Structure 1
């Protein structure tokens, strides 16, 4: 026999519906209070009522108390019955939620969410309609952000909508009250809001904000060794940071490039002086593919044996398909399994392309065991030997 539908049961359903449809709820409330009534069937079976009439009466009272907290938003529906043995002429058969206030009244978190909802509505009414359209695409931000965060986002969106170009660095944007470090860290949020505020057919990405408004970018500096191949007179073994445009005009074309994910390994590795060593750049190494000469020389890559290292490799291969990996295989993982640690990151999607069959097997092993082998744990003499064979 099924249990009676409790107030908390309906409240949980309403909470899930709100979480997945908060934007529609807010939009409807802004649009003249438009609300689509929600109906939940409650009618118990006759056998349920007769099995425990006291339990039915307690259940009915619980629903009456709940409806009493918001009479204008919660309507109980009764159906006539002829259950004289139970002393009943009508039975509660359903509940209609006819306003957002009624929905929040039934949720366990309803009081807090109701206040957040009301504040979000006030925020939407206080900004330009186009910015409000954009904000509706980020309901979690509307509901949960503090006033300072909200004001910063609106100030940035308004400034960008009012100016066709910035022609300055991101930290030089003259937006009152905005810490421009905040903008650097929230470009994706700004892009999402502007996409809908401007009614663009394609979504803006973080990088599009930079290019569309001609915001100047600081040069990416690459840590390299054997920098004398690039600029004559620089110390060969020192770690030097050079911008991409300088590396793109080498005084001597390197015979090969060794990309090392972590700085420490790159600093310690002793490779032939005609090999340009690029290190410690993480995913930013993809920018290296823009070099005009990079496809003329072999490129080797060694990263951590973890999800991130393989993802960086796959990303690099999207631009440079000929990149060869070094010691990124199951054999290396097994040999140094005693030095592995637990990978704290969640499993990522396996790249659709950019990994060999051997590297895909490594990814499967890493994800199955939640393993991570940092490249610094592998003995340098073994790394040097592997690079020697690869070269």
Structure 2
């Protein structure tokens, strides 16, 4: 324990010292030693080098200014033509958060989803890119300034938690629009409501009046349209249809030549046949 404390003291007093991962400590202890003694070590360092600890951090590694694995953001390019034009030729990829912030992907529309299966089963969309928001971890997009220049949609569970996540997203993307998260959708699929996980009450100042009114539908322990409803066959065709049509207005104005409009009408007819 003294050797470990000495190492952190060394980091505190040595300018330019490069920290490492918890299990990378250059000390004669086994790889899990520090993690197994987090509480004791933190209390000890608070007495020895209190100004070194970053008490505002939530994780042990960040509190001791150690390196941590960077969060990954899962991205799908939903337009096959756009993905074919990328240098790495992939339609799905995960990037470190710092790289995502400077990603500048192609396309004019970004569709952020709450649930992973919804994200993975999105259909092909012209000019669109999908991002898995990972539920309440949607704050990962906070520093992605390139989103401000895109048409952003959010598709989450139609329940109290889903609306709270939409409210959180709008802190960073004020123009984000919900997809299939309205009173009409809830009324149409009432038979698929299931009991949602209760969430604490929150001030939803970034929601519209209609969205705020909808949020009152679910008291702390009521039923909500949770993720299982998205897997139901009766509503899935309409979900895909809404996701596809959300991209049409911008796509239509982006290319106004007759041949493009004809191709777009043909694609529209194919989607109607699928329904």
Q: Aligned pair 1:220/2:75, yes or no?
A: no
Contact 2:76 2:131 (C-alpha < 8 Å) held by counterparts: yes
Question: 1:282 deviation in Å?
Answer: 2.3
Equivalent position of 1:353 in the other structure: 205
Q: How does 1:117-266 map to 2 (within 5 A)?
A: 160=8, 163-164=11-12, 167-173=19-25, 176=29, 179=32, 182=35, 198=50, 204-206=56-58, 210=62, 213=65, 215-226=66-77, 228=83, 231-236=86-91, 239-247=92-100, 248-250=102-104, 253-266=106-119
Who is 2:143 aligned against?
Answer: 290
User: 2:173 & 2:40 partners in 1: Cα distance?
Assistant: 32
- SS for the counterpart of 1:242 is strand
Structure 1 Cα separation of the partners of residues 35 and 164 of structure 2: 27
Q: Which is further off, 169-178 or 216-225? A: 169-178
**Corresponding residue to 1:322 among 175, 191, 197:** 175
C-alpha spacing 1:224/1:199, structure 2 compared with 1 (3 Å): closer
The CA deviation at 1:297 is 0.6
Deviation at 1:370, TM superposition (A): 1.9
TM-score by length of 1: 0.48
Q: How many pairs align?
A: 230
Q: Out of 304, 307, 310, which is 2:160 matched to?
A: 307
Alignment TM-score, normalising by the size of structure 2: 0.66
Name which one, 1 or 2, has greater alpha-carbon Rg.
1
1:386 maps to 2:237: no
- Which structure has more helix as a fraction of its residues? 1
Q: How far 1:358 sits from its partner (Å)?
A: 2.4
Query: What is the aligned-residue RMSD (CA, Å)?
Result: 3.9
- Specify every segment of 5 or more residues in structure 1 that has no aligned partner in the other structure, as ranges: 1-150
Corresponding residue for residue 224 of structure 2: 372
- Mapped contact 1:303–1:328 kept (Cα < 8 A): yes
